[in-house]
Structure 1
Amino acid sequence: MVKYSPDAFSTSLLGQNLVVFCGAQGNKFVFSNDDKLTTHWLPPSTLKVLFPGIGGNQYKETVALFHKFQYEILKPDALRQYIPVMDSLAREQLRNPSSVVKALPLARKGRVFVDEVDPERLHKLLEPFSRLTVGLLALPINLPGTTFNRGLRGGKVVQGGLMRIVEERRRKDSQGRDCLLSKLLIDEDAKYMSDIKIANFLIGVLLASYDTTAYALIVVIWSIILLNFHIFINKFLKLRIGSSLFAQQMAIAKSKGADELLKWEDVEKMKYSWNVARESMRLAPLALGSFRETTTKFTYAGFTIPKGCKAMWTVHSSHMNPDYFPEPEKFDPSRFEGSGPAPYTFIPFGGGPRICAVRNYAKLAILVFMHNLVTRFKFEKVIPEEKILFHRNSPIPAHGLPLHLHPHQGEINPSLMHVEAILYMQI
């Protein structure tokens, strides 16, 4: 941006020449012109890993099917029903934790959309699914031992496992069942689709819901509760943030019965907690942007961009821009109070017609998981200087973020919440 233009520049990525749109105006232009001047595009190497056996633009049928079903599974009434399910799953995962747990595998557990499938069976797909996601934006060199090769093999294993699940479900009566897979198999547009296409659809759902949400949880756990990312934060601000977050979650916990699950009204009270999570995602976004392809020739910021050109919008060009966020390296949840950031400046889930469909689901999962962790445990990192790696352009702890969990002992006195929070937030 400094060398060429703060509005747009051209570069090369994964063997493709593309234009990068920058800043809030670039974000607004791309989001406002989806399906007008641009269309969705994925690098060929990404398609080979994500959707094995599908070539060219055939994957768009899978994308269209997801858009049809996203309202059914992500509508407001459905999301309200997921909250106690999420809370129950979080409690189950944290019921008898060992003294050391890895946060990343813990965050990846869940089965809301496929709750009729044996959890252990899904769990066996986690390792090859992880290889799949790591290979999505790897250099397209298909040699044994390369990340791309591991991604290809992981994609085939996941696809095969999901195809077997689809085959078994076809032999059963899906009428009246409420999970996504059952709804899919009785849908008029989908019931005649091949098993491989349905399996690829489920891979897309897992990537959007399970993987994106897991990354979001890790970003929040790591960069907020442990304050690992925020090396520029002063001690007073750190204690104030920790105290406010802890006090809010403990107040909600004390208003509930011992076995009473969270509900929509409880999540609505977590406004400060959500501001903390959003500031976390501003500093460590879930993705660096996404790709487009131009469908016609047009002019932008004085540049002529031809038809068929590959394009990309970026997160950091607005998230870390001091014109939008003063002192952008500083962690400050108050940025989101009142009317919050200006439009098109905070875009962790994208925007426009192609905004991440699971953003509201991810919000609920983050807040429910945060509530269970904060109200039940204090934390201590096992590896104080654990490195950050980027898998599929998302920040991931190199060793899965192992934590020492120390359960809160006995009844917590509300008058001591501030002191407890100070102790809790120490690194």
Structure 2
Amino acid sequence: MELSYSSPVNITTGSIMELSYSSPLNITIFTLVLVVFLYNFIHHLTSPRKTKLPPGSFGWPIIGESYEFLYGNSQKFIGDRMKKYSPKVFKTKLHGEPTVVLCGPAGHKFITVNEEKLFRTWRPYSLQKLFRAPFLPDTKVVIPRETLVHVTKAPGFIKTDALIEYAGKMDSMIQQQFKLHWRGKPEVKAYELLHRMAANLSSRFFLGLEENDPRMEKFAMLSFGMTQGLNCIPINFPGTRFYRAKKVAETMRKEVLQIIKEKKAAMCSGVQTNDILSHMMLSGNSETGRFKTETEIATMSSAVVVSGFTTPSTGLSIIMKYIGERPEIYNKIREEQMEISSSKKPGELLNWEDIQKMKYTWHTALEVMRLRPPFQGAFREALSDFTYEGYTIPKGWKVYWTVTTTNNNPECFPEPEKFSPTRFESLPPYTFVPFGGGIRMCPGKEYTRLVMLTFLHNVVKYFKWEVLAPNEDMIGTVLPVPKNGFPIHLHPLST
């Protein structure tokens, strides 16, 4: 047989044998293909059975499905995949990491009871880089949540004993906010005012700033700037959202460092302080035995300040919208609050016992957060391989705890589309977890409750309001913000 190197081979009609003898190059290719085929065949026969992963899709290379999750509608993102793959568990890729999403009451319970056994806290890279202590060599190291939990649960801070003392001070500060920024203004952008109020409260109780300290307003602006980069793709390039947020985070740390120096000087003079920042300065690390550096304290304090205002400001905006559009709900809340107000002497501030009487108001707030949750979920990391619903979740995978998958489930909430605050008078466990659960229950839950109820007491006491943009879109869904700032028309009331 004569070998030909000039004429092409007709692959559609020629046999494999004819193709293999057409050139030395084709002989080499055929040999490699045969070797690879035989290796894969033998490997398949001898290797253990593959891990059974949950159903789902990793999406695009590298970014996975992060863009749709972060910049689309995250509730719809989760809901669509529950319908397509499984209502209990599915896999995806978020923040560049293979991720499994556990859904429903069973998912809530599984994560709650297995904290620290199967999971540890994990933060998206945007949060890691914004709140990372710059003195740590590992760029992936994030300030342990355990540190923040320890601080906020320390004696005299976010525990009930401290909140009892906070009630009157908080009532006074909120009344002052109304006097400065609400009264005499027929139209306001409520989200901006709520943001300012929540940030001022956070600065007062966490950093120890006095009510008339002009830096409160600066921290309000800085906090808002940081939230823009909390949940986004961390592209550190001029002009990006994350780049701007990182610059703001550096500025906030410098501001807190200045406050630390002032507090040190005051302490040396014998001044008594009682706030989270002071506690951080005086407490050592129980594991290493060393005290934290000023840079460490400034970084952790920044994280506490920002976390202390995000949920109250967003949650109260959504609650005000629902109340403003439902006169019957507004009237019931005002009736409850005016009964409390009528029991007070002129000028007397709210106390802890008053807060406990606001049951219908709090149930209304919970119902609104069920329908329009201000917080969507949190991430964990698998400490080892584990099995869930017959699927194996590998070690190192991220686990997303989505707190919203039960909110519209008729098995958990009959007639879920109906606005019914009374449903929270009795609720089965693991059906509603806006603040997480178990040992990782949000340490600021009771603080947030106090902020919301104190504000609602005052706003229905002094105002009725008309929602001017009922169809206003929310920007972002991980931390949603009203696109136009939630404009309302205020109607002052005599008390």
- TM superposition score category, shorter chain reference: 0.7 to 0.9
The reply to whether residue 242 of structure 1 matches residue 330 of structure 2 is yes
Question: 1:296 aligns to what?
Answer: 384
Aligned pair partner of 2:213 in 102, 119, 125: 119
Q: 2:96 aligns with which of 15, 28, 38?
A: 15
The correspondence for 2:433, drawn from 316, 327, 347, is 347
1:291 CA drift (Å):
0.1
* Cα distance, 1:56 vs structure 2: 4.5
Q: How does 1:25-424 map to 2 (within 5 A)?
A: 25-51=106-132, 53=134, 54=136, 55-56=138-139, 58-61=141-144, 63-71=145-153, 72=155, 73-96=157-180, 97-99=183-185, 100-108=187-195, 109=197, 110=201, 111-117=204-210, 119-173=213-267, 176-189=272-285, 192-223=291-322, 225-227=323-325, 238-337=326-425, 340-390=426-476, 393-409=478-494
Does 2:2 correspond to 1:2? no
The answer to whether the 8 A contact 1:283-1:320 is kept is yes
1:309-360 CA distances to partner (integer Å, 9 max, x unpaired)? 11101122111212111222221112112xx221111011111111110101
Give the CA deviation at 1:140.
2.3
Query: Any idea what SS the aligned residue of 1:374 has?
Result: helix
Partners of 2:128 and 2:141 within 8 A in 1: no
Contact 2:113 2:438 survives alignment (8 Å) = yes
Does the 8 A contact of 1:51 with 1:155 survive in 2? no
2: CA distance between counterparts of 1:191 and 1:399?
Answer: 47
Alpha-carbon separation, structure 1, partners of 2:476 and 2:436? 19
Q: CA deviation at 1:194?
A: 1.7
Contact 2:209 2:216 in 1 (8 A): no
**Secondary structure, aligned partner of 1:172:** helix
Query: Secondary structure at the residue paired with 2:480?
Result: strand
- Of the two, which has the highest radius of gyration? 2
1:388/1:396 contact within 8 Å kept: yes
| Mapped contact 1:142–1:149 kept (Cα < 8 A) | yes
The 1-side partners of 2:278 and 2:146 are apart by 18
* Cα RMSD for the two superposed structures: 2.0
Higher-RCO chain (CA-CA 8 Å, sequence separation at least 6): 1
Report the 3-state secondary structure (helix = DSSP H, G, I; strand = E; otherwise coil) of the residue aligned with 2:405. helix
Percent same amino acid among aligned pairs? Answer: 37
Give the distance between the partners of 1:68 and 1:317, measured in 2 at CA.
30
Structure 1 distance, partners of 2:446, 2:335, is 24
Distance 2:394 2:470 in 1: 49
SS at match of 1:293: strand
TM-score by length of structure 1 reads 0.87
SS of the equivalent of 2:83 reads coil
* Alpha-carbon displacement from aligned partner over 1:134-175 (angstroms, at most 9, x marks no partner): 111112222222222222222212122212222332233165
- Aligned partners of 1:169 and 1:239: how far apart in 2? 48
* Paired residue secondary structure (1:17): strand
CA contact (8 A) 2:385 2:394 kept: yes
Aligned mates of 1:103, 1:335 — CA distance in 2: 28
Q: Deviations over 1:19-44 (max 9, x none)?
A: 00000100110111110001000122
User: How far apart are the structure 2 equivalents of 1:328 and 1:52?
Assistant: 43
Q: C-alpha distance in 2, partners of 1:187/1:142?
A: 34
| Secondary structure of residue in 2 paired with 1:199 | helix
Return the letter of the residue paired with 2:142.
Y
Asked whether the equivalents of residues 293 and 309 of structure 1 are also in contact (C-alpha less than 8 Å), the reply is yes
Contact (CA 8 Å) 2:104, 2:431: kept in 1 or not? Answer: yes
The 3-state SS of whatever aligns with 2:206 is: coil
Would you say how many aligned residue pairs link Structure 1 and Structure 2? 395
* TM-score, normalised via structure 2 length: 0.75
Partners of 2:296 and 2:216 lie apart in 1 by: 19
Work out whether residues 121 and 381 of structure 2, in 8 Å CA contact, stay in contact via their aligned partners in 1.
yes
Deviation sequence 1:356-393 (CA, Å, 0-9, x none)? 101011111111100000011111234444322226x1
Quote how far apart the aligned CAs of 1:122 are: 2.8
The answer on whether the counterparts of 1:52 and 1:155 sit within 8 Å (CA) in structure 2 is no
* Range with bigger deviation, 96-105 or 291-300: 96-105
SS of corresponding position for 1:66: helix
Q: Unmatched 5+ residue regions in structure 1?
A: 228-237, 412-427
> Structure 2: 5+ residue runs without aligned partners?
1-81
Q: Secondary structure at the match of 1:74?
A: coil
AA aligned opposite 1:105: E
Q: 1:39-67 CA distances to partner (integer Å, 9 max, x unpaired)? A: 00012232112336254564344x33222
CA distance in 2 between counterparts of 1:343 and 1:130 reads: 34
